């Protein structure tokens, strides 16, 4: 049964012919400045640098079959000899379908192709160990044939169309991908690992066969001790998330940087780049509120909880994304809304628990989608402390 949803302020309703195309050319996400705020200067300059050169056509056209969208898009995009051509206005047409692409068909193409491209059953990517909407490169994807690597170049071009940095991966980054792996490494960091008899090597399995990989020269002969455990953890993270997929990542970056040169994206940190590529999205506060749980004395009618949701409603779109990242570790909402949030042990709704004294800031546990919220009063105190916690969490590199 369909339920009536609130009006979306970003949905302008029926529009005259051509209106959507004029807006789409400037910004395909149709962000509302009243909600997101005015673009900062470097954002405008960044978009300006991405505009197509004057000597290429105004449109890049693709005619595709819906039942062959991955292969058709791959052949068309990879046939381009000059990547700058892909900076032109995209014009998508599906076979045997009438209609002009004033942006809507292109957005549908992005949606359909991304579902096909990132489908783990295709073999390029695999689900992370933590949830079913975060993906990582499948380390076995380059073992079949070299053509697989060109698929990653294609994926990189596609990601560039929709819009790494060489940043060192930290232990905190591991938590959002594989919580069990994170906990094991964190235990080693906080304890003496000598009794575990660990060596600077790892076992890797490919197609049923296991072989040993040294994390450093002669690593199989070097024991992990309390003195060198930090080096061991850094090398394990490098192997697990970089070295195993280096060929695929290089192919992806080749396609990505054809459209987005590295020197242009270095101004963004990893969170900003994620927002740049994925867009701010829309956080439906009503959906979030309806699919939340409470504990330790809180309930939906508790004054502090009422004030919390009031504070979220008063946030602009970007602040809501920051809050979402703060409490879940991701800026994305599952495809079917907050009802399908996942935690480290499977489905896990957002949970708010009473904790601490009003002098403390709220704290979050991203692996459990939970927020510990002190009993603030009045409302202004809650709003101030919540924003302070969210803003101070940006860029934190430690282990908590």
Phi and psi dihedrals of 137, rounded to 5? -60, 135
Q: How far apart are CA 331 and CA 126, in angstroms?
A: 20
Residues catalogued as catalytic: 367
Q: How far apart are CA 384 and CA 216, in angstroms?
A: 48
């Amino acid at each position: 049964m369909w339920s009536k949803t609130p009006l979306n302020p970003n949905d302008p309703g029926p529009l005259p012919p051509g209106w959507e195309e004029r807006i789409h050319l400037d910004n395909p996400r149709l962000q509302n400045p009243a909600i997101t705020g005015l673009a900062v200067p470097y954002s405008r300059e960044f978009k300006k640098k991405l505009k197509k050169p004057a000597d290429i056509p105004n449109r890049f056209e693709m005619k595709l079959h819906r039942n062959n969208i991955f292969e058709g898009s791959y052949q068309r995009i990879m046939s381009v000899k000059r990547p700058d051509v892909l900076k032109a206005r995209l014009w998508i047409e599906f076979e045997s379908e009438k209609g002009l692409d004033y942006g809507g068909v292109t957005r549908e193409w992005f949606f359909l192709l991304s579902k096909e491209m990132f489908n783990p059953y295709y073999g390029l990517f695999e689900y992370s160990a933590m949830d079913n909407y975060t993906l990582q490169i499948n380390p076995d994807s380059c073992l079949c044939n070299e053509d697989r690597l060109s698929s990653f170049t294609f994926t990189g071009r596609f990601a560039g169309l929709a819009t790494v940095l060489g940043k060192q991966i930290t232990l905190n980054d591991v938590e959002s991908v594989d919580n069990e792996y994170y906990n094991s490494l964190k235990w080693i960091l906080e304890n003496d690992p000598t009794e575990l008899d660990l060596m600077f090597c790892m076992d890797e399995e490919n197609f049923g066969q296991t072989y040993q990989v040294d994390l450093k020269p002669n690593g199989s002969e070097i024991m992990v001790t309390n003195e060198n455990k930090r080096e061991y953890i850094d090398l394990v993270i490098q192997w697990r998330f970089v070295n195993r997929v280096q060929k695929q990542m290089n192919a992806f970056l080749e396609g990505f940087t054809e459209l987005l040169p590295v020197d242009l994206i270095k101004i963004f940190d990893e969170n900003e780049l994620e927002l740049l590529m994925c867009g701010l999205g829309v956080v439906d506060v009503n959906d979030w509120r309806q699919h939340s749980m409470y504990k330790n004395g809180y309930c939906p009618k508790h004054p502090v909880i009422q004030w919390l949701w009031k504070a979220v409603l008063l946030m602009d779109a970007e602040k809501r994304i920051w809050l979402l990242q703060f409490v879940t570790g991701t800026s994305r909402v599952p495809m079917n809304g907050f009802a399908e949030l996942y935690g480290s042990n499977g489905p896990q709704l957002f949970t708010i628990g009473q904790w601490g004294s009003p002098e403390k800031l709220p704290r979050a546990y991203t692996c459990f989608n939970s927020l510990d919220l002190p009993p603030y009063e009045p409302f202004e105190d809650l709003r101030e402390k919540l924003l302070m916690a969210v803003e101070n969490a940006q860029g934190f590199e430690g282990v908590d």
